[in-house]
Amino acid sequence: MKIIKHSFDGVIVGAGGAGLRAAIEAAPHMKLAVITKLYPTRSHTGAAQGGMSAALANVEEDNWNWHAFDTVKGSDYLADQPAVDILCKEAIDAVIELEHWGLPFSRLENGKIAQRRFGGHTVKEGEAPAFRACYAADRTGHMILQTLYQKCVSMGVEFFDEFQVLDIKIEDGVCKGVIAFELSTGDIHIFETRAVTFATGGFGKIFKVSSNAHSLTGDGPGILYQKGIPLEDMEFYQFHPTGIYRLGILLSEAARGEGGILRNKDGERFMERYAPSIKDLAPRDMVSRAIATEISKGNGAGPQNDYVYLDLTHLGAETINKKLPDITDFVRTYVKIEPINEPIPVQPTAHYAMGGIPTDVNGRVLSDEKNTILPGVYAAGEAACVSVHGANRLGTNSLLDIMVFGKRAGQSMLEYVSKTKASSISDSSSDDLVKKINNLIEKEHTDEFSVGRIRNDLQESMEKNTKIFRTEETLSEQTKILEDLRERYENVTIFDKGKVFNTELMETIELDYLLDMSESTVASALARKESRGAHSRQDFPERDDAEWMKHSFAFKNGNSATLRYKDVELGKYEPMERTY
Ligand SMILES: Cc1cc2nc3c(=O)[nH]c(=O)nc-3n(C[C@H](O)[C@H](O)[C@H](O)COP(=O)(O)OP(=O)(O)OC[C@H]3O[C@@H](n4cnc5c(N)ncnc54)[C@H](O)[C@@H]3O)c2cc1C
């Protein structure tokens, strides 16, 4: 195994929307590397479909305060309101900036950027659904990613494509660098650097039915968690109401934004009963619970009564082909039905991590619940928890989050680098990692302890015990299962002993993070004895503001987590009952 050393002022880990946006900020003023395990334009941001919200008021009256109100209410009052204000205020410039960089937004007749409806976004604090999501057909994320990447290329940003970061070196509380594995050669690269931004995306692969790409395994949060950095609000994981039945492939909320309707087996528009005013456009946590409730009452469709229908048939071919071309093609390809004429079988799918690496509004990583800053380490995007999404994210607010807080993380990195001297990292800093890899390769392979089996059992059990509804019983059962999986993981073996694109080796290391993400999720969920946003405890069905209006911080403690808490930062919106 060759060991190669590099020296940079700053390193960004991840080339999705958050990483690229941070790079655009930092690159002109420092020697910067962007390290990414995927080729940049394969990042999950490119799979985002429906839109990015900003109160541009292109279709109707709107303002960022209404956007902030919706975001806070959507979060079930767990979001930090000063951070939400920043998100919604800076949204407008973020969209215009993308437009100026060449993003081909869909347009209105008058040439302005088109906007559509999305779940939980309203005008006048709940009066009616708002036209706030800016979009490029149903390929908004694809367009954002391409636009940002082309901007980075034009700026000469240095990329290390298909390099997987496996470790960070922090000495005396100061960042010294990161260690990466080059996928095509199996070589190890030591990156000496003063500042690192983690923009590694989510971890939806802890569940079996998920909209997330195979690569979303929580690497950034996992690497830091193993170094003693806590993870914030891990019990809040979002299930998107409309995944393709069994496959989990996402059918964007834009489908309902354009007028799509959810129906149960009798054809009833059941959301009228659960959210009488905004119906199918209620926030995701509520719609997912409504679907799960319909299914448990026997109102689900199909031979096993385990799905509902997303009905687009009344929209007409023109709207479908123009505004929802990609997702309807997924349906034709994977379900073999024609969505213009037939309703689509859907079920909730694991989608988005509200929790993650705790940061302040400038992307600076916090090492505890007292807001202690970890010098030189930053995080942005889905890997981070600012927290602007609280207990439940509104659709279109994540593409916005990666733009607003990606930029801020890049700026913070720059500020830090300009104030600190270069430091050095020792040649032996990769020794532990090399030893770990060699151990994995040398161990004889057995089927019983294969990565695939352990991961499959993890995903199935998380799906069963921790999905939309949870109880003390299911979470305790999952705690035991995780202990057992951890024990099996200690003996994990791999079949591929090669150096070239040894994806099995990388998946083995990713499984460690998936276990960490699951352990912290389950421990945080077991402790939180209330229901709020996406965390729904059947044994504690009410929201309990007196006791639980606080963020949880999970610190790794062996194979479990120790929990501490931090108060939510309130603002102008008083917590109220969350009806729609
Ligand atoms: C199907 C789908 C549709 C969506 N639609 C919308 C939408 O319409 N609107 C909206 O607001 N949100 C949407 N979302 C959510 C949103 O797209 C994501 O939350 C957001 O794009 C995440 O961006 P990111 O930059 O944080 O991470 P990602 O885009 O996931 O990028 C992660 C990057 O990290 C790199 N990486 C990871 N681990 C390592 C490692 N160990 N070493 C090196 N590199 C690493 C990867 O190579 C990749 O470049 C959608 C999500 C999905 C899954």
Any atom of ligand 1 within 6 Å of the Cβ of 396: yes
pLDDT, tens only, 496-506 = 999 999 999 99
Torsions phi, psi for 558 (to 5 deg): 60, -125
Ligand 1 mean position, distance from CA 90 (Å): 20
Any atom of ligand 1 within 6 Å of the Cβ of 14: yes
Torsions phi, psi for 547 (to 5 deg): -100, -35
Which atom number of ligand 1 is nearest to the Cα of residue 144? 21
What local confidence, expressed as pLDDT, does residue 497 receive? Answer: 95
Ligand 1 mean position, distance from CA 266 (Å): 37
Any atom of ligand 1 within 6 Å of the Cβ of 140: yes
Q: 130 exposed, middle or buried (CB, 10 Å; 0-12, 13-18, 19+)?
A: buried
What is the pTM for the complete model shown? 0.97
Any atom of ligand 1 within 6 Å of the Cβ of 257: no
**Mean pLDDT of all residues in 444-467:** 96
Ligand 1 mean position, distance from CA 457 (Å): 25
Ligand 1 mean position, distance from CA 213 (Å): 9
Any atom of ligand 1 within 6 Å of the Cβ of 454: no
Which atom number of ligand 1 is nearest to the Cα of residue 165? 42
Sorted by sequence, the CB contacts under 8 Å of residue 77 that are 6+ apart come out as 390, 391, 532, 543, 545, 549, 568, 573, 575
pLDDT, tens only, 394-441 = 999 999 999 999 999 999 999 999 999 987 999 999 999 999 999 999
**CA-CA-CA-CA dihedral for 463, 464, 467, 473, to nearest 10:** -140
Residue 284 annotated among the catalytic residues of the structure: yes
Total number of residues shown for the chain: 580
List every span in the chain annotated with CATH 3.90.700.10: 253-347
pLDDT, tens only, 92-148 = 999 999 999 999 999 999 999 999 999 999 999 999 999 999 999 999 999 999 999
559, pLDDT greater than 90: no
> Which residue, among 173, 187, 216, has the nearest Cα to 501 in the 3D structure?
187
pLDDT, tens only, 320-348 = 999 999 999 999 999 999 999 999 999 99
pLDDT, tens only, 458-483 = 999 999 999 999 999 999 999 999 99
Any atom of ligand 1 within 6 Å of the Cβ of 349: no
**CB 118 within 8 Å of CB 396:** yes
Q: How far apart are CA 306 and CA 300, in angstroms?
A: 5
Choose, from 132, 256, 284, 532, the residue flagged as catalytic: 284
> Which residue, among 461, 504, 465, 510, has the nearest Cα to 484 in the 3D structure?
461
Residues forming beta bridges with residue 540, ordered by sequence position? 537
Any atom of ligand 1 within 6 Å of the Cβ of 217: no
What local confidence, expressed as pLDDT, does residue 192 receive? Answer: 97
What local confidence, expressed as pLDDT, does residue 432 receive? Answer: 95
pLDDT, tens only, 38-79 = 999 999 999 999 999 999 999 999 999 999 999 999 999 999
What local confidence, expressed as pLDDT, does residue 26 receive? Answer: 97
Ligand 1 mean position, distance from CA 51 (Å): 14
Torsions phi, psi for 455 (to 5 deg): -65, -45
261, amino acid identity: I
Q: Residue 472's Cα: distance from chain center in Å? A: 26
**Mean pLDDT of all residues in 160-179:** 95
Share of the chain above pLDDT 90, in %: 98
- Residue 412 preceded by cis peptide, ω within 30: no
428-567: CATH topology:
Methane Monooxygenase Hydroxylase; Chain G, domain 1 (1.20.58)
Please state, rounded to an integer, the average pLDDT across all residues of the chain.
97
Q: Residue 173's Cα: distance from chain center in Å? A: 27
Q: How far apart are CA 129 and CA 480, in angstroms?
A: 44
Residues forming beta bridges with residue 384, ordered by sequence position? 357
What local confidence, expressed as pLDDT, does residue 130 receive? Answer: 96
Any atom of ligand 1 within 6 Å of the Cβ of 382: yes
1, pLDDT greater than 90: no
Ligand 1, from 398, 403, 516: best to mutate by most atoms within 8 Å of Cβ?
398
Element (H, E) at 566: strand 560-567
**Mean pLDDT of all residues in 257-269:** 97
List every span in the chain annotated with CATH 1.20.58.100: 428-567
253-347: CATH topology:
Flavocytochrome C3; Chain A, domain 1 (3.90.700)
Share of the chain above pLDDT 70, in %: 100
Which atom number of ligand 1 is nearest to the Cα of residue 212? 53
Per-position DSSP letters for 145-197, written without gaps between them: HHHHHHHHHHHT-EEEETEEEEEEEEETTEEEEEEEEETTT--EEEEE-SEEE
Which atom number of ligand 1 is nearest to the Cα of residue 406? 25
**CB 285 within 8 Å of CB 238:** yes
